[in-house]
Amino acid sequence: MKKLGFGLMRLPLLDPDDEKSIDIETVKKMADAFLAAGFTYFDTAAGYHEGYSEIAFREAVAKRYPRDAYTITDKLTLFMLKEKEEMPGFFAGQLERLGVDFLDYYWLHGLGTDSYRQAEDWGAFDFIQELKEAGKVKHLGFSFHGDAQLLDQILTEHPEMEYVQIQLNYLDWEDEKIQSRLCYETAARHGKPVIVMEPVKGGCLATIPEEAETLLRRCHPDASMASWAIRFAASPEDILVVLSGMSDEAQMQDNIHFMGDFQPLTGEESALLQKTREIIQSAIAIPCTACRYCTEGCPQQIAIPDYFSFYNDLKRFGPSQMRAVRRRFNQLKENHGVPSDCVKCGKCEERCPQHLPIRQYLEDVAKELEG
């Protein structure tokens, strides 16, 4: 299998403010180009595009190509369910929306500490194993949002899992929270091939600070910034597929160009990306470490580190990130206070190990994200 996968979570839209308004005709053209170039791997989930990603796949691919022309991955998203008895109906609905009789890959979606406990309590591992035994699913795995220690625990307790999907990109490779390298090495130690999500960090690494871009263009003048990020993610030995959430035909053509005859990074290129990482990190507007001490006791339940992260993305990578940031912001504010809800009590600043002027930063963030 070629190493590029088509992630169906950032599809082109007819209305930029409506995630359901997928431009199906453009998606058809993108899928045609993808398959014509010899790539086959599509990835979706019930929650992508507010439920319309699976339907877009059906219209663009399943209805127009024979079943052996593509592979499709979907996910059992437990946080969308209220009780375990809903799992069979949830899966049946996915098959119907996708327009297929079976899935090539089926993942437990977004496992972390709490969701892993839920999966265990609900018997979700046994459920997807039964789907495989019934011929409804060919391969099993899970996407993961936790640290390397938890990943080691899951793979030790569930060796039947065949694949692991993790966030991996050159900015997060040594990140203490995301632990891309440590998670990759843990999966490799257990003999599990890795599927990569967020290789371009939600599009952030497609538009990088001018100093960093100049550095990379001296090496490859015509290479896109996204190509550097995706090649980094695809270079480790145990990577099976790198997902790219492509939003237009130009992105598709660029990815096909450099992944059609994939070349792993050289030592010189890896060194350049290390320098690029340092430049990007130095451009962070708010030096928050996401320790989350500030959220303890916040009377407005403001997700301070998360909003700071959104703000930093905008400042580092520019307006190209506004769509992604708006989506994440709207999701977060459903269960948390927004920055402008701050009552200036100062409890957050008392607890901050970095001694940040959090109240002032929240005002800055509110102007950027709520204005």
336 and 225 part of one domain: no
- Per-residue pLDDT band for 356 (boundaries 50, 70, 90) equals confident
Residue 211 scores a pLDDT above 80 = yes
Contact 94, 152 (CB under 8 A): no
Residue 100 sits in the same domain as residue 227:
yes
The mean pLDDT value for 72-80 works out to: 95
Same domain, 36 and 88: yes
Q: Give the mean pLDDT of the chain.
A: 93
pLDDT class of 202 with cuts at 50, 70, 90: confident
Domain end residue (candidates: 246, 275, 304): 275
Does the structure show a pLDDT above 70 at 353? no
DSSP string computed for 172-232: TTT-TTT-HHHHHHHHHHTT--EEEE-TTTTTGGGS--HHHHHHHHHH-TT--HHHHHHHH
Q: What is the pLDDT of residues 240-279, one digit of tens each?
A: 999 999 999 999 999 999 999 999 999 999 999 999 999 9
Instruction: Give the torsion sign (CA, 114, 117, 123, 129).
Output: positive
Rounded CA-CA distance 194/45 in Å is 18
Rounded CA separation 119/117 (Å): 5
- Measured between alpha carbons, how far is 140 from 107 in angstroms, rounded to an integer? 6
* Mean pLDDT of the region 279-291: 80
List phi, psi (to 5°) of 13. -120, 150
Phi, then psi, of 256 in degrees rounded to 5: -60, -40
Last residue of a domain, one of 215, 244, 275: 275
Q: What is the arithmetic mean of pLDDT over 323-341?
A: 89
Please indicate, yes or no, whether residues 78 and 10 belong to a single structural domain of this protein.
yes
pLDDT band at 282 (very low <50, low <70, confident <90, very high): confident
Give the bridge partners for 71, in sequence order.
Answer: 41
Verify that 200 and 308 share a domain, yes or no: no
Predicted confidence (pLDDT) per residue in 128-174, tens digit: 999 999 999 999 999 998 899 999 999 999 999 999 999 999 998 99
Asked if pLDDT for residue 340 goes beyond 90, the answer is yes
In a domain, 284, yes or no: no
The band of 207, judged by pLDDT with boundaries at 50, 70 and 90, is confident
Q: What is the pLDDT of residues 142-154, one digit of tens each?
A: 999 889 999 999 9
Task: Indicate the pLDDT class of residue 294, thresholds 50, 70 and 90.
Answer: very high
Q: Which residue has the higher pLDDT, 207 or 269?
A: 269
The number of distinct structural domains making up the chain is: 2
Task: Tell me, yes or no, whether 339 lies in a domain.
Answer: yes
User: Where residue 66 sits, what CATH number does that domain have?
Assistant: 3.20.20.100
In a domain, 286, yes or no: no
Q: Please give the residue range of the domain that contains residue 62.
A: 4-275
pLDDT reading at 285 higher than 70: yes
pTM confidence score: 0.81
Q: What is the pLDDT of residue 90?
A: 98
Asked, for residue 315, whether it belongs to a domain, the answer is yes
Residues 264 and 323 in one domain: no
